Structure 1
Amino acid sequence: MTVQTALAPRSIFHGWFVVAAAFAVMFVGFGSAYTFSAFLEPLQRDFGASRGSISLVFSIAGFLYFALGLVSGPLADRLGSRPLAVAGMILVAVGLAAASAAHSLVEVYLAYGLGVGVGVGCAYVPAIGAVQRWFVRRRGFASGLAVSGIGLGTLAMPPLASLLIASVGWRGAYLALGAITLILGGGLSLLIENDPKDRGLGPDGDPIRDVSGATSSDGASVREAVRSTRFAGLYVSCLVCSFGAFVPFVHLVPYARDHGVAASSAVLLLGMIGAGSTAGRFFLGALADRMGRDRSLIMVLIGMAFAMAIWAVAKEVWALAAFAFVYGVFYGGWVAVLPSVVMDYFGGRNVSGIIGILYTSVAFGTLIGPSAAGFVYDVNHSYTLPILLSAAANIVAALIVVAIVARGGTHAVSAATR
């Protein structure tokens, strides 16, 4: 080896490009989805619909983008994550463009609900599953960095949507968001690759010969994973948690408006969730690598319950902002830590497929929770009951994970069928 070769700069590990691509997919996909609260009032006004029926638009989209991981995850394990991520971004863009031309609420259901729902469903699980394979030592940090795109999308996109609605109307706003999704999300998703071995590397950029322990090709089969008690516990925990997890994304802005907060300030509360979510995904993801990822999962679930308790008594804008930020931190930690826990428990061989099946639990909670909160409001003109039930659900979800941890250690690839 010559001195010149020895001193040659080391190229950037491609895993970080995969993280950047997944970040972009999350940013525009979920960022566009979570602008929905900014559209709720103009849609309700133009179509003369109740708050519950408008909320159902988001619930349909949310159900689809989590439920379709059941299909897109296994397809990504077989065909690769890149084509699914690219197709997903195209579908989101088409759905938003179609929503801009809708002339009835049913057309909004079909355009936004199916377009955004199916599009994010195609892209989300394959993108986050690909990230898991590229890292071991820094998996929690890398996963948190990737899904921080959801947090920053929630921070940036709703205020942008609000400005667009004010300037070009809700139809023009949907069209502009579709263009952003196609250019940014569709373009950067081309960087996604499934496995570092395709580049002659192991996880974290280590030479394959230096990689010890489980690799991205090791782990449980999908059948072994879903029949395990650990998977059953995670599934029920996610199902219970998700009944309330997405209620703030739909109802925080109208809640604030009901309590006299100006529209311009109310929409910024979603940005506060995004800011907290970004911090939570970034820092709690890294912290989880040190303190144990499944134990971190317990912590973030309890934190979400604590934040909901703040919301139950918050009336002033400063208190709502405090809730939004605190909730965002722990919600972001939940989203960041959960895929890494799956990888720890079941290995990388079928990680996208296993995550996809797990996220069907979140799909059912997302379908029911936000729309149910809207219909409860239509009946009694109060969000107190949905908020308190959401807090209780997070405590129950945390207790289920406590039971999982009590049954065995963190690294459970070899014991997946327990």
Structure 2
Amino acid sequence: MREARYAWVVVWAAFFSLAVIFGVSYSFAAFFEAFAGQFNAQRADVSLVFGLCGLVYFVLGAGAGMLADRFGPRVVCCTGMLFIVGGLALSSLAHAMWVIYAAYGVGVGIGIALVYTPAIACVQPWFTQRRGLAAGVASAGIGAGTVVVPLLATAAIEQWQWRDALRAMALGVLLVGLCATVLLRRAPVAGGVVGTTPAAGADAGTPDVGQRAGSTLAETLRDRRFWWLYAAVALASPSMFIPFAHASAAARDLGIGDARSVGLVGLIGVGSLVGRFAIGAMADRIGRLLTLTLMQASAGLSYLLWGAAGGYTALAVFALWFGLSYGGIVSLLPAICMDLFGPRAVSGIIGTLYTGAALGNLLGPVLAGAVFDRLGSYATTIAACVLLSALATLASARLARFGGPRY
């Protein structure tokens, strides 16, 4: 059995699309101090930009998925890239913090929503035999963007100041992002594969997606497996996003320079890249749901190292460890949705699942900033993240019980 030739073009198009949008999202760490200084804002106020952006793209993800199911990923994702370009350009003209909220928080958030779910969901129907590998490669774009773009943003700020750095980023999105999203395409037949032989290995025993229509979104919402998965995502979401907003600030509090502080976000990206491949390979051996449970536990344990960190080395190890866990979790979710519910409404299902992360993405970074502004420490935030990760681990374990041994 072989996948259609264009399948891997779609994978790499999704890779670069995700690298661009999450590179922009996580470059927020590079602009944190610039926004705080320019607008005389506290950490909670600045963190709201990142939280608002995440809230928007997770809440709108389900709608974006449905639009992609109707109109195709190319049109929807290209529109999203244009929203990001506009949001960055308007942010560069900001004269007050509310403009950053509207342009970066809402405008860029809408753009990411229109790209994220359609891009990652359109990969799955092209594959049966190597679905896990394809999902890992595509989602590795998130890690690659997290490594590269924040460092480029930091260098641009040092060279040109933050306004011109935002304009340069907008130009990069226009050039790289649009070129990538133009290549996205629906699978030409159900499953997007040539042939109808069931997959081997970890997917053996699962009917070919070309033979199984799968669940509608309405049917999925009546399935208790979806709600256990949703609970796991919702509980984990605050701890998944706090490091992207606050790890660099925590490093600066220890007297670490700007480049190395922002570089922690890059190290999260490095760990994430490794996680998407290494954890994907582990999932092929022991099952995706068990692997998800282990990664939820690993993410929580990594916070203990942050809590004990007294210098750059410990923070760097935390960033790599957390990134490995985060990357594994994110890469597993689309494949789990495809395993459990099939390709019929996969974009809408994945988008609906991601709404579970919306509130945590907003409240996690903002509350972490507010607690720091009040107490001068991240200790309370770290303890809360360990607890939430433990609850997410229990929800994932419950799902593994219902999901069946083949997953």
TM-score category (smaller protein): over 0.9
Deviation of residue 410 (structure 1)?
5.1
1:24-80 CA distances to partner (integer Å, 9 max, x unpaired)?
Answer: 111110101101011111110010011101100010001111111120111111211
User: What residue in structure 1 maps to residue 387 of structure 2?
Assistant: 392
Contact 1:269–1:324 under 8 Å retained in 2: yes
Q: TM-score, normalised by structure 2?
A: 0.95
- The answer on 1:214 being equivalent to 2:208 is yes
Whole-Å separation in 2 of the counterparts to 1:67 and 1:290: 33
Aligned with 1:42 (options 22, 34, 38) = 34
Whole-Å separation in 2 of the counterparts to 1:394 and 1:382: 20
- The answer on 1:344 being equivalent to 2:344 is no
Contact 1:22–1:127 under 8 Å retained in 2: yes
User: What residue in structure 2 maps to residue 25 of structure 1?
Assistant: 17
User: What residue in structure 2 maps to residue 283 of structure 1?
Assistant: 278
1:194-273 counterparts in 2 under 5 A? Answer: 194-197=186-189, 202-203=191-192, 205-208=193-196, 213-215=207-209, 218-273=213-268
- The answer on 1:331 being equivalent to 2:326 is yes
1:115-264 counterparts in 2 under 5 A? Answer: 115-197=107-189, 202-203=191-192, 205-208=193-196, 213-215=207-209, 218-264=213-259
Whole-Å separation in 1 of the counterparts to 2:107 and 2:13: 21
Contact 2:140–2:276 under 8 Å retained in 1: yes
Report percent identity of matched pairs. 40
Unaligned runs of 5+ in 2: 200-205
Change (3 A) 1:190 1:208: farther
Change (3 A) 1:406 1:210: closer
Contact 1:139–1:289 under 8 Å retained in 2: no
User: What residue in structure 1 maps to residue 88 of structure 2?
Assistant: 96
Whole-Å separation in 1 of the counterparts to 2:340 and 2:38: 49
- The answer on 1:302 being equivalent to 2:294 is no
Whole-Å separation in 2 of the counterparts to 1:197 and 1:191: 17
Aligned with 1:82 (options 69, 74, 77) = 74
Whole-Å separation in 2 of the counterparts to 1:183 and 1:52: 33
Whole-Å separation in 1 of the counterparts to 2:3 and 2:229: 38
Contact 2:91–2:100 under 8 Å retained in 1: yes
Contact 1:345–1:411 under 8 Å retained in 2: no
* One-letter code aligned to 1:255: A
Change (3 A) 1:117 1:11: closer
User: What residue in structure 1 maps to residue 47 of structure 2?
Assistant: 55
1:336-388 CA distances to partner (integer Å, 9 max, x unpaired)?
Answer: 00111111110010011001111001111101111110011110010111112
Whole-Å separation in 1 of the counterparts to 2:109 and 2:355: 13
Contact 1:276–1:332 under 8 Å retained in 2: yes
Whole-Å separation in 2 of the counterparts to 1:207 and 1:128: 23
Contact 2:340–2:403 under 8 Å retained in 1: no
Contact 2:3–2:127 under 8 Å retained in 1: no
Deviation of residue 208 (structure 1)?
5.0
Whole-Å separation in 2 of the counterparts to 1:58 and 1:209: 45
Deviation of residue 213 (structure 1)?
2.1
1:292-311 CA distances to partner (integer Å, 9 max, x unpaired)?
Answer: 11111111111101111111
Unaligned runs of 5+ in 1: 1-9, 413-418
Whole-Å separation in 2 of the counterparts to 1:213 and 1:382: 52
Contact 1:344–1:410 under 8 Å retained in 2: no
Deviation of residue 141 (structure 1)?
1.4
Aligned with 2:56 (options 58, 64, 73) = 64
Whole-Å separation in 1 of the counterparts to 2:107 and 2:8: 29
Query: Where does structure 1 differ by over 4 angstroms across 4 or more consecutive aligned residues?
Result: 208-212
Change (3 A) 1:336 1:210: closer
User: What residue in structure 2 maps to residue 415 of structure 1?
Assistant: none
Q: TM-score, normalised by structure 1?
A: 0.92
Task: Report the secondary structure of 1:348's partner residue.
Answer: coil
Contact 2:198–2:208 under 8 Å retained in 1: no
Change (3 A) 1:293 1:209: closer
Change (3 A) 1:12 1:409: closer
CA RMSD of aligned residues (A): 1.7
Whole-Å separation in 1 of the counterparts to 2:406 and 2:82: 37
Contact 2:129–2:198 under 8 Å retained in 1: no
* One-letter code aligned to 2:253: D
Aligned with 1:314 (options 309, 316, 322) = 309
Contact 1:56–1:370 under 8 Å retained in 2: yes
Contact 1:99–1:174 under 8 Å retained in 2: yes
1:352-367 counterparts in 2 under 5 A? Answer: 352-367=347-362
1:362-377 counterparts in 2 under 5 A? Answer: 362-377=357-372
* One-letter code aligned to 1:126: P
Whole-Å separation in 1 of the counterparts to 2:198 and 2:405: 23
Whole-Å separation in 1 of the counterparts to 2:271 and 2:18: 16
Whole-Å separation in 1 of the counterparts to 2:252 and 2:186: 45
* One-letter code aligned to 1:246: F
Deviation of residue 108 (structure 1)?
0.5
Change (3 A) 1:171 1:318: same
Change (3 A) 1:411 1:85: farther
Deviation of residue 119 (structure 1)?
0.1
Whole-Å separation in 2 of the counterparts to 1:410 and 1:140: 16
